[in-house]
Amino acid sequence: MEFEAWWLVLFPVFFALGWLAARIDIKHVLADSKSLPQAYFKGLNFLLNEQTDKAVEVYVDLARNHAETIELQFALGHLFRRKGEIERAIRMHQKLLERAELKPEQRHAAQYELGLDFMKAGLFDRAEELFESLEGTELARGALRHLLDIYQQEKEWKRAIEVAQQLRDTSHTYQHEIAEFYCELANHAAIKSQPKEARQFLQQALAEHRKCVRANLILGDLEVAEQNWMEAIDAWQKIESQDHRYLPMVAKRLLDIYDRLGKIEEGTALVRGYLATYPELDMLELVHDRILQYEGSESAANFLSEELKRSPSILGLIKLLDSQAVGAQPERKSELDLMKKLVQDNTRSLAMYHCGRCGFKARQYFWHCPACNEWESFLPSRGQTRPN
């Protein structure tokens, strides 16, 4: 009972303390509100009534006439950039940088924001200068990421490699990106008929990322250009141990070399072996066309039928319908064509390549996604989508 009595005594004390704290808070709020310019509330009223443009004009005038509105100028500059009013964003951030009373961290933030404005406007050289000036500041890492974006857009691959190497840490090694940058340099050297330089870049790509499929794919093409047939075969066969899903990309190249060497059956056996181990639509089509060419339509149709039993797929069914229509009677061919059209109309997305990061779809394969700019994000098998 004594314990309960003590609590009864303390209740009025707690109540009094709470009342006192509330009074102090209210006084602060009232004092702060009196110090705000009247235009602030006018702009707030516009925002509450969803009159954004009028609110922006009020706050622009407020920022122009009140020296203490640094944070407001930052907010307005960011808003202008988001709305696509890049020139207004640039002017806002340039005026910020003219203010002598800015603290160092505020000046760095204004430089960073102005760099983003220039970048959005496509003025990469001016953005680059601002981001480089932030070296050694608290915004240096963010500036480096934007520099990396700039160098990729301008295809300055050597500078992109330097920046990516500065950015790498335990959370992101950038090995995929750096290997791809070396592959881009190799492609450029190959176009300029500099195979020695191209090979060096490819070796650097593989040293950076030993499972870089693209490097071996390009290396095989270089060997073919110099008629080094066996070396090309060796380069492309290494892709199986890197990522077997990319084998369909080199299967046709391998068959062409085996045909050139007069080893038709050996080439066919190699690709059929790949298909048996790694069932892929593109490989299925390639083997089917091979059988159709050398063994006739009946053997090709039988092959497709057996493959569908072993590894069913909608795209394989379309190929089978297409194969059976070859040489069929007009009435039967019409039925098969109709069935094929109905299936195709409902499965168009299955014939596309998908980006595993953003879901962007395309009929051709990209090493660099045009939508999200991620490297090696396209899934190498048509119809394959990213997991939910």
SS (H, E, C) 156-181: CHHHHHHHHHHHCCCCCCCHHHHHHH
What gap in Å lies between CA 329 and CA 108, rounded to an integer? Answer: 76
**212 has binding-site annotation:** no
What's the confidence (pLDDT) of residue 10?
40
Same domain, 120 and 39: yes
Predicted confidence pLDDT, tens digits, the chain (388 residues): 444 544 444 444 444 445 444 444 444 433 444 444 554 444 444 444 445 555 455 445 555 545 456 787 788 788 889 889 899 899 989 988 988 888 999 999 999 999 999 999 999 999 999 999 999 999 999 999 999 999 999 999 999 999 999 999 988 999 999 999 999 999 999 999 999 999 999 999 999 999 999 999 999 999 999 999 999 999 999 999 999 999 999 999 999 999 999 999 999 999 999 988 988 778 888 888 888 888 887 887 788 778 777 776 655 666 666 666 666 667 667 765 666 565 555 555 556 888 989 989 888 899 999 999 999 898 887 766 554 4
The pLDDT mean for the chain works out to 80
- 372 annotated as belonging to a binding site for a ligand: yes
Instruction: Report the pLDDT value the prediction gives residue 49, as an integer from 0 to 100.
Output: 46
* Number of domains into which the chain is organized: 3
For residue 113, give the CATH number of its domain. 1.25.40.10
| Same domain? 68 vs 53 | yes
Residues 70 and 149 in one domain: yes
Answer yes or no: is 222 within a domain.
no
Judgement on whether residues 158 and 49 belong to the same structural domain of the protein: yes
**Could you tell me if 52 and 94 lie in one domain?**
yes
- Looking at the fold, whether 22 and 112 belong to one and the same domain comes out as no
Between CA 375 and CA 373 the distance in angstroms is 7
Same domain membership, residue 42 and residue 143: yes
Helix (H) or strand (E) holding 13: helix 2-35
Inside any domain, residue 258: no
- Domain range for 2 is 1-33
**Any domain includes 121:** yes
Same domain, 21 and 44: no
Looking at residue 131, its pLDDT comes to 97
Residue 14 located in a structural domain: yes
Kindly state whether residue 238 falls inside one of the protein's structural domains: no
- Is residue 138 one of the residues assigned to a domain? yes
Long-range contacts of 89-95 (CB under 8 A, 24+ apart): 89/113, 89/117, 89/120, 90/114, 90/117, 90/118, 90/121, 92/63, 93/117
Give Rg (Cα) of the chain.
33
CB-CB contact of 154 with 148 (8 Å)? no
Burial of residue 35, with CB atoms counted within 10 A of its CB: 0-12 exposed, 13-18 middle, 19 or more buried: exposed
pTM above 0.85, yes or no: no
Q: Do residues 10 and 67 both lie within one domain?
A: no
DSSP summary character for residue 364: S
Residue 380 and residue 365 in contact, taking contact as beta carbons nearer than 8 Å:
yes
| In-domain check, residue 302 | no
Residues 105 and 141 in one domain: yes
Tell whether 325 is covered by a domain. Answer: no
Q: Could you tell me if 205 and 184 are in contact, meaning their C-beta atoms sit under 8 angstroms apart?
A: no
Tell me: do 45 and 18 sit in the same domain.
no
pLDDT of res. 76: 79
355 is in an annotated binding site: yes
* Amino acid 179: pLDDT: 97
pLDDT of residue 68: 52
For 288-297, write each residue's pLDDT tens digit. Answer: 888 888 888 7
Does residue 107 share a domain with residue 13? no
Length of the chain: 388
